[in-house]
Amino acid sequence: MMKIVLVAGARPNFMKIAPLSNELQKRGIGCTIVHTGQHYDDTMSKTFFKDLQLPQPDIYLGVGSGTHAEQTGKIMIEFERVCLQLKPDLVIVVGDVNSTVACALAAAKLCIPVAHVEAGLRSFDRSMPEEINRILTDHISDYLFTTCEDANKNLRKEGIPSSKIFFVGNVMIDTLKRFFDLARESDILDKLGLKKDGKLSKYAVLTLHRPSNVDQKDVLKGIFSALNRLSKKIPVIFPAHPRTLERIKSFALDNMVTYVGKFSRNDLKKSKKNVWVMPPLGYIDFLNLMSHASVVLTDSGGIQEETTILGIPCLTLRDNTERPITVREGTNIVVGNDPERILSASFDILENGPHGKKIPKFWDGKAADRIVEVLTARFMT
């Protein structure tokens, strides 16, 4: 029997391993889920396993936080022990976080085949740690599963043989399609007072966590200044990453937002600022919130993809994107973190709606099925 280790470490990974775990289970293929603990609190990790109906991790490494080198090193040490104990036939890694490259390196050095799901994405900005992770992981992987033709071209330009590249589609969209109906039953809009007597208020959703946006006071303050002006027209709902919350407090920018604890309507009624900061949401609640937004502002790659499928206008607060297909075919616009550009694009969307609405090829909810087909053909014949 084929033995597969499926690795996840951070919030974006969980949506990607869920359809793979489900498809492997359906086919009776052995799968050990390893959670590295890169994201380790309940709101960033445990809640997602419940929402996505994932089995609890078979192995939890508990590496926690640290610098990039510390975290990557800890994961490599702990994951090497897992590989030596389990002796898997294949290690599957997803995305571009530190857990991705660390586990791929540990496996490759033990001559264990590695499959990288979401391979070939490039921002061409090596100041992003994720870009380094993507490049390294791709060049030591044996199976590179891509989401779009752009990724295929990037890999071929870097000299990776076509025999290793498999265009299968987007597993993130598998998860979205599977849970969309369940997300519609979420009561998050009622809790936030955005839905009253069956009528939905207009609002924006914000996610923000990248160092380029949150690690410099002037940059973060500028973003919030734009959002405060936007919030005079519609409220801005901000489920905040713990790291971003720390920056808001350390930079003394609390006066630019309103903290919402347990989604109390009374808190919102009393708020002087319409930028509502709250703890991270689970997948189901966030999907519901995002699917009804007038506009989503983000520096997340996955949200660029999800808004494309949902047809929701997305403003990416970065100077580049590793997912250009979401700009070319989807609803995404790259605006950077300049306050005036953010505000101008937001007002344009509120007045004119999304600029595009095309579904990329193979973003159809069947990517995990294609991935497992490739693996079974290679390993079981």
Name the residues annotated as catalytic: 209
Question: Cα separation of 228 and 208, whole Å?
Answer: 15
What distances in angstroms separate CA 199 from CA 189, 196, 206, 208, one per listed residue? 11, 5, 22, 28
Is the sign of the CA dihedral 161, 166, 171, 173 positive or negative?
positive
Question: Cα separation of 329 and 360, whole Å?
Answer: 7
Beta-strand pair 90-94/275-278 = unpaired
Question: Cα separation of 225 and 228, whole Å?
Answer: 5
Q: List the alpha helices (DSSP H) in 127-241.
A: 129-140, 149-157, 171-183, 188-191, 211-214, 217-230
Reported for 18-22, long-range contacts at CB under 8 A and 24+ positions apart, including other chains, are: 18/52, 18/53, 18/54, 18/174, 18/175, 18/178, 19/171, 19/174, 19/175, 19/178, 19/367, 19/368, 20/92, 20/94, 20/117, 20/171, 20/368, 20/371, 20/372, 21/54, 21/55, 22/368
**R_g of the chain computed on alpha carbons:** 20
What distances in angstroms separate CA 107 from CA 116, 117, 149, 375, one per listed residue? 12, 15, 27, 17
Question: Cα separation of 210 and 194, whole Å?
Answer: 28
